[in-house]
DNA sequence: CAGTATCCTGTCCGATACTG
DNA sequence: CAGTATCGGACAGGATACTG
C-alpha cells in the first residue's frame, strides 16, 4: 500500500499488522508452536495461520518440521527475525514510559543480574543517543526517487537558512 | 484489542495503524499542516482526519490554531511524540538493513557532518547493545497480572535449568 | 485551506465447525 | 496437535462531493 519506497512502509508491510509484533514477542520468549501462540495470545486460529504465513514469507520466521510421524511443525526465528528484537524492545519501552497507566507489567532485565534495563537508541559509531532531532536528520539515500531527493534537498536548504 | 496489559499492545493501539508512522515521519521532518501531509503521503483526507485525531487523543500531536481569520490549524509534536522518533528511526533502519531491495532510499545522517548514522538499541546504563537474547530477557513488571507473572517465572526457571 | 459526509470495496478478526 | 473452511460484523481506506 501507498509508496513502497520508504523503508518505513516496507517495515510496516512486513511486521506492521496488529498481531504480528505480539506474535514475535512470543517467539522472543522462546515459544515456537501453533498451540502455544494460540493460548498465549488468544488469537483465533485462522488469523494465526495467516500471520505466521506472512512472517514466513518475509523471511522472519522459518517453518520447520520437528516430527515425522505424526507430522509436527514449529516456527523459529531467522537471523532477520532475531535482529528485530531490539527494535521491538525499544517500542515496548516507549509504551512503558510514555503511555498512561505507568505501572509496568512487562520490563526488560539483565538475565544475569536481574537488573532492569533502559533501552535507548544510539549511533553505533559515536554512542550518542539519537533523541536530538536537530543533530540527526533524515536524508535521501542512494536509491531515492527524484521526489524524495527534492524533498530532502529542500529541507536541508531550509535548515541551512535557519542557521 | 486483545489484552491491554502488554506495553506492546498499548503502543500498537497508539501508533500501530498503517498510516500513523508514516505520518509521524512527516512530522519529524518538520511538516505540520493537513495539506502537506495529504500531498506528501497520498493519504485520503478522511483517513488523514481520523489518524490525526487518534494521535491528538493519545497526546502525541497537539492541534494548534496558528491563524484567527481565516481559522487555520497545525499539528505539532508533543514531548511524547518527539520521544518516539528514535524508535521509528530504529524501525526504518531495520527495514533498510533486513528487507529485500537493499538500495536505501532514505537514511539517517549527522546533520553537521552529513555522515550516515547506524542506529542501534543499547542499555543506557552500560551502553551494551541489546541484540543478545540470552543476556537480556523480558520479565514481569511490578503491575503484572498473575498470568504474566506465572509465564515469566516459568521461563526463568527453564533458563536456570538449561544452565 | 482544512476539513466533513457518504459510498464502496477489501481486509481484519473472532466464532464455529471440521480434518488427519 | 496443527491447522483449514466458512460465516458475519466491524473497520480500513480510497473516491468523490461538499463546506466555510
| pLDDT over 80 at B1, yes or no | no
Residues B12 and B38 in one domain: yes
Residues A76 and A98 in one domain: no
Query: How confident is the model at residue B82, as a pLDDT?
Result: 97
Structural domain containing residue A33:
7-83
Residue A1 covered by a domain: no
- The CATH number linked to B64 is 1.10.10.10
Residue A43 covered by a domain: yes
Report the DSSP beta bridge partners of residue A9: none
pTM of the model: 0.94
Report the DSSP beta bridge partners of residue B139: A107
Residues B11 and B78 in one domain: yes
- Pick the residue of B15, B48, B78, B98 with the most A CBs within 10 A to test the interface with A by mutation: B98
Identify the CA nearest to A118 among candidates B101, B66, B141: B141
Residues A78 and A11 in one domain: yes
Residues A137 and A89 in one domain: no
- Is B44 part of the contact surface with chain A (CB cutoff 8 Å)? no
| pLDDT over 60 at B2, yes or no | no
User: Is B50 near strand D, with its CB below 7 A from some atom of it?
Assistant: yes
Residue A105 covered by a domain: yes
Residue A156 covered by a domain: yes
Q: How far is B87 from chain A (nearest CA, A)?
A: 6
- Listed as own residue / partner, the contacts of A126-131 with beta carbons closer than 8 Å and 24 or more positions apart are A127/B122, A127/B127, A129/B86, A130/B85, A130/B86, A130/B89, A130/B108, A130/B117, A130/B119, A131/B82, A131/B83, A131/B85, A131/B86
Residue A100 covered by a domain: yes
Nucleotide nearest to A20 (CA to C1'): C12
Contacts of B84 in chain A (CB under 8 A): 94, 98
Residues A56 and A37 in one domain: yes
| pLDDT over 60 at B111, yes or no | yes
Residues A77 and A12 in one domain: yes
- Is A39 part of the contact surface with chain B (CB cutoff 8 Å)? no
Residues A64 and A25 in one domain: yes
Residues A22 and A74 in one domain: yes
- Is A41 part of the contact surface with chain B (CB cutoff 8 Å)? yes
When divided into structural domains, chain B yields a total of 3
Residue B97 covered by a domain: yes
Nearest CB to A136 within list B40, B84, B108: B108
Contacts of B144 in chain A (CB under 8 A): 105-106
Are B117 and B110 spatial neighbours (Cβ–Cβ below 8 Å)?
A: yes
Residues B40 and B60 in one domain: yes
Q: Kindly report, residue by residue over B132-142, the tens digit of the pLDDT.
A: 999 999 999 99
Q: d(Cα A110, Cα A116) in Å, to the nearest integer?
A: 6
Q: Kindly report, residue by residue over A98-118, the tens digit of the pLDDT.
A: 987 767 899 999 999 999 999
Residue B160 covered by a domain: yes
Hey, what's the cell of B124? Answer: 543506557
Residues of A numbered 99-138 whose beta carbons fall under 8 angstroms of chain B's beta carbons: which are they? 99, 101, 103-112, 114, 117-125, 127, 129-131, 133-138
Amino acid at each position: 500500500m501507498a509508496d513502497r519506497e520508504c523503508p518505513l512502509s516496507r517495515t510496516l508491510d512486513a511486521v506492521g499488522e496488529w498481531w504480528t509484533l505480539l506474535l514475535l514477542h512470543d517467539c522472543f520468549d522462546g515459544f515456537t508452536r501453533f498451540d502455544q501462540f494460540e493460548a498465549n495470545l488468544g488469537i483465533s486460529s485462522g488469523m494465526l495461520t495467516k500471520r505466521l504465513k506472512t512472517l514466513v514469507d518475509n523471511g522472519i520466521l522459518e517453518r520447520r518440521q520437528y516430527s515425522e510421524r505424526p507430522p509436527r511443525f514449529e516456527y523459529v526465528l531467522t537471523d532477520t527475525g532475531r535482529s528485530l528484537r531490539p527494535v521491538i524492545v525499544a517500542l515496548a519501552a516507549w509504551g512503558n514510559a510514555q503511555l498512561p497507566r505507568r505501572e509496568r507489567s512487562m520490563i526488560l532485565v539483565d538475565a544475569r543480574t536481574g537488573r532492569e534495563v533502559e533501552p535507548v537508541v544510539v549511533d553505533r559509531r559515536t554512542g550518542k543517543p539519537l533523541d536530538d532531532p536537530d543533530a540527526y536528520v533524515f536524508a535521501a539515500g542512494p536509491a531515492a526517487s527524484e521526489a524524495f531527493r527534492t524533498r530532502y534537498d529542500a529541507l536541508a536548504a531550509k535548515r541551512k537558512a535557519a542557521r
